[in-house]
Amino acid sequence: MLKNYTQNTQANTSELEDQIFRNINHPEAGYLPTSFLLKFANPYPENQTLNHAAETVPLDKLWQELNVMGMQQPFVLRVCLSKKTVRLETGNQRIRLFEQHGITKVPVIIEVAETPIADRKNGDQLRPLESKDFDIEKLVQCKDQWCNPLEVVAPHHIERITSQTRVQLRSRAMRHHILMQTQ
């Protein structure tokens, strides 16, 4: 009985992820565990945020919009090598919504930049850049550009995404590729 519940929950979560992340097509986006991104999020997020139309909306309305319209951009994790800091630059409210709704992996790009903060609207939080979380040498090679997180995040964080999930992600990418060819 528990096994069936778990399988149904995983299937429902997978369908929800497909629906929400269907618009993500950034060439450097990779999927990371939601719990990993939460480490770098603003510890004091607001109860409202800007939606895709730049309107201030409460988080429950944002969740409804994400279910209908999908997410438009991946999360941005900003790394500043000179200050040795990391922060979740975009998505501080969305990451908590996804955690609340059981979304276990999210699309992310890594931005390696000279300055630690691009937009103070998301708070001033900075976390230390640690080798247990990132391959520092590979980050240095990405300096001043976007990186795929699967290339620079420590493998033990990525291994949380099961092989079943990898198959689902490949399937989603294939569906997106076919859809783009038919348009």
Better pLDDT: 164 or 146: 146
What pLDDT does residue 6 have?
Answer: 33
What is the number of structural domains in the chain? Answer: 1
| Amino acid at residue number 159 | E
| Segment 23-30 mean pLDDT | 87
The Cα–Cα gap between 67 and 145 comes to: 30
Q: In sequence order, what E strands does 59-163 have? A: 75-80, 85-90, 105-113, 127-128, 146-147
Averaged pLDDT score across all residues of the chain: 78
State percent of the chain over pLDDT 70: 75
Provide, rounded to the nearest whole percent, the portion of the chain with pLDDT above 90.
Answer: 26
| Measured CA distances, 72 to 39, 52, 88 (Å) | 23, 7, 17
Q: How far apart are CA 106 and CA 33, in angstroms?
A: 6
Owning domain of residue 172: 2-182
Distance CA 19, CA 10 (A): 14
Two tokens at 119? 């937009």
Residues 14-21 have a mean pLDDT of 85
Mean pLDDT, range 1-26, rounded to an integer: 64
**DSSP single-letter state for residue 145:** S
What global pTM score does this model have? 0.76
The confidence score (pLDDT) of residue 129 equals: 93
Residue 7 has pLDDT above 80, yes or no: no
- Give CA–CA dist 70/18, Å, rounded: 9
Greater confidence (84 vs 47) lies with 84
Instruction: Report the distance separating Cα 131 and Cα 129, nearest Å.
Output: 7
Digit-coded pLDDT (tens) for 60-74: 888 888 889 898 889
Query: Average pLDDT, stretch 46-52?
Result: 66
